[in-house]
């Protein structure tokens, strides 16, 4: 009953908060600038959805989660507030990457050193098990900063970051509940409700964006939930339906696979091309799906479905061990990326052939012509 109350409270707070936020943002001319060439949206849209998400999440957690079952809550909220405020300032006036990185590292150090939520064991990945204290702190800080930026980078089309975040929160909510850690289950449930309330206004056509205030906070909570579950899985086997979780790090990798793989991919491509890994471009997975002619909703559904399939796969293959499971998941993701690249190349070649033909207008059926025109338009945009 308490799960339902927490979920509905955060959802309703967000649902009631967003309409006035949209109104004030438009009146005060606080909205996402659609003039940049890499922007997908061509109309003004407020980007303060993170304000509503944080409000609903914080209100629900503060009211319904007893401090004795989640003693780290105050530290988590303080560290999350740092990221929220920096993200909000970036949404309003814009900030350079340096200041945002300082805030991310500060929040990560607060979590790892004050709350003592950190990666203490590598589960045998790369042959490493127990980590010394300072190595544990260092790895935890970089993990949190990496996940925060990964969620910030996938927030590029309607509904994507919110949907991936919702799947993550539901997955961790169930896992923490099954492990008996009710405080963390309540935390995940609260954020799930807030994200669903936000998604009502973020699906095509989007009326509001999450903004950096939302994506940075979402990435931060995702990283903390991941670390906490990996720690729990070291000492106990969690029963999730017919599956027994014995490879916690592998399961976490499946839950985070979409933002993590996309970030690693674009960073690798940018570095190999001699550009800064932080240079913005239109080469993310969601951009590539749009170039196939998919809509925002279709691209989001594809990536969300892939995420769910990977989670189920990881649950079914718990017995093979963390290192083997992580390697298999990355291999599968590389194969899917290869199929996507092949599909894009085939469609681009076909579109160019159709556009260069002198007989296109005469011989091409109307539906096929329309498809080719849409593909060419997507190619030019991406």
pTM, whole model, 2 decimals? 0.88
pLDDT, residue 369, reads 45
Taking the chain, what is the end-to-end CA distance rounded to the nearest angstrom? 47
Strands 243-245 and 238-240: antiparallel
Q: Is the pLDDT of residue 68 over 70?
A: yes
Which residue, 158, 127, 142, 156, is CA-closest to 321? 127
- The answer to whether the peptide bond before residue 205 is cis (omega within 30 degrees of 0) is yes
Average pLDDT over residues 166-183: 94
Residue 145 or 233, more confident: 145
pLDDT, residue 364, reads 46
Average pLDDT over residues 98-117: 94
Average pLDDT over residues 22-49: 72
Q: Is the pLDDT of residue 38 over 70?
A: no
CA distance 290 to 204: 14
- Residue 243 bridge partners (DSSP): 240
Report angle CA 9, 12, 14 to the nearest 5 degrees.
Answer: 110
Average pLDDT over residues 231-237: 83
Residue 1: which residues within 8 A CB-CB, separation 6 or more? Answer: none
- In sequence order, which ranges of 155-256 are alpha helices (DSSP H)? 160-179, 182-199, 211-235, 248-255
Mean pLDDT taken over the chain? 86
CA distance 364 to 148: 47
Report angle CA 306, 219, 182 to the nearest 5 degrees.
Answer: 90
SS3 state of residue 42: coil
Per-residue pLDDT reduced to its tens digit, 199-213: 999 987 888 999 999
> Exposure string (b/e) for 154-183, b if CB count within 10 Å is 16 or more?
bbbbbbbbbbbbbbbbbbbbbbbbebebbb
Residue 320 or 278, more confident: 320
pLDDT, residue 368, reads 46
Q: Is the pLDDT of residue 371 over 60?
A: no
Residue 13 or 346, more confident: 13
pLDDT, residue 377, reads 58
pLDDT, residue 360, reads 46
Three-state SS sequence of 122-164: CCCHHHCCECCHHHHHHHHHHHHHHHHHHHHHHCCCCCHHHHH
pLDDT, residue 98, reads 87
- Residue 239 bridge partners (DSSP): 244
Q: Which two tokens stand for residue 163?
A: 């949907």
Q: Which two tokens stand for residue 261?
A: 């793989």
Longest dimension (CA), the chain: 74
Report angle CA 243, 247, 252 to the nearest 5 degrees.
Answer: 95
- Give the confidence band of 167 by pLDDT, cuts at 50, 70, 90: very high
Share of the chain residues as helix, strand and coil, in percent rounded to the nearest 5: 75, 5, 25
Average pLDDT over residues 50-68: 92
pLDDT, residue 367, reads 46
- Give the confidence band of 272 by pLDDT, cuts at 50, 70, 90: confident
pLDDT, residue 41, reads 56
Q: Please tell me which of 39-43, 230-234, 237-241, 262-266 the model is most confident about, judged by mean pLDDT.
A: 262-266
Name residue, tokens 């009710």.
182
Per-residue pLDDT reduced to its tens digit, 313-367: 999 998 888 889 999 999 999 999 999 989 888 887 877 777 665 444 544 454 4
Residue 236 or 69, more confident: 69
């Amino acid at each position: 009953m308490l799960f339902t109350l927490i979920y509905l409270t955060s959802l309703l707070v967000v649902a009631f908060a967003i309409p006035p936020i949209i109104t004030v943002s438009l009146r005060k001319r606080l909205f996402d600038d659609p003039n940049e060439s890499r922007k997908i949206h061509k109309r003004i849209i407020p980007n303060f959805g993170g304000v509503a998400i944080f409000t609903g999440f914080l209100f629900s957690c503060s009211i319904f989660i007893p401090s004795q079952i989640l003693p780290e809550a105050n530290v988590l909220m303080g560290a999350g507030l740092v990221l929220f405020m920096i993200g909000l300032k970036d949404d309003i006036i814009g900030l350079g990457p340096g200041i945002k990185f300082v805030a991310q590292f500060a929040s990560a150090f607060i979590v790892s050193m004050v709350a003592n939520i950190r990666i203490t064991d590598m589960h045998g990945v790369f042959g490493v098990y127990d980590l010394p204290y300072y190595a544990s702190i260092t790895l935890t800080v970089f993990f949190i900063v990496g996940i925060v930026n990964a969620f910030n980078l996938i927030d590029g089309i309607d509904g994507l970051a919110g949907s991936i975040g919702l799947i993550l929160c539901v997955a961790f909510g169930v896992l923490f509940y099954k492990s008996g850690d009710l405080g963390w289950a309540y935390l995940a449930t609260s954020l799930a409700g807030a994200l669903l309330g936000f998604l009502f206004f973020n699906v095509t056509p989007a009326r509001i964006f999450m903004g950096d205030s939302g994506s940075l906070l979402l990435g931060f909570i995702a990283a903390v939930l991941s670390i906490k579950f990996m720690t729990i899985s070291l000492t106990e086997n969690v029963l999730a339906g017919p599956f027994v979780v014995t490879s916690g790090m592998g399961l976490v990798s499946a839950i985070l696979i979409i933002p993590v793989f996309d970030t690693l991919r674009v960073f690798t491509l940018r570095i190999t091309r001699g550009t800064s890994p932080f240079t913005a471009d239109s080469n993310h997975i969601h951009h590539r799906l749009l170039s196939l002619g998919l809509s925002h909703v279709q691209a989001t559904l594809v990536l969300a479905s892939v995420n769910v399939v990977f989670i189920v796969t990881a649950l079914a293959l718990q017995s093979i061990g963390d290192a083997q499971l992580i390697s298999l998941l990355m291999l599968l993701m590389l194969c899917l990326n290869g199929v996507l690249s092949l599909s894009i190349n085939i469609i681009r070649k076909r579109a160019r052939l159709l556009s260069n033909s002198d007989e296109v207008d005469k011989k091409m059926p109307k539906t096929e012509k329309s498809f080719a025109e849409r593909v060419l338009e997507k190619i030019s945009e991406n």
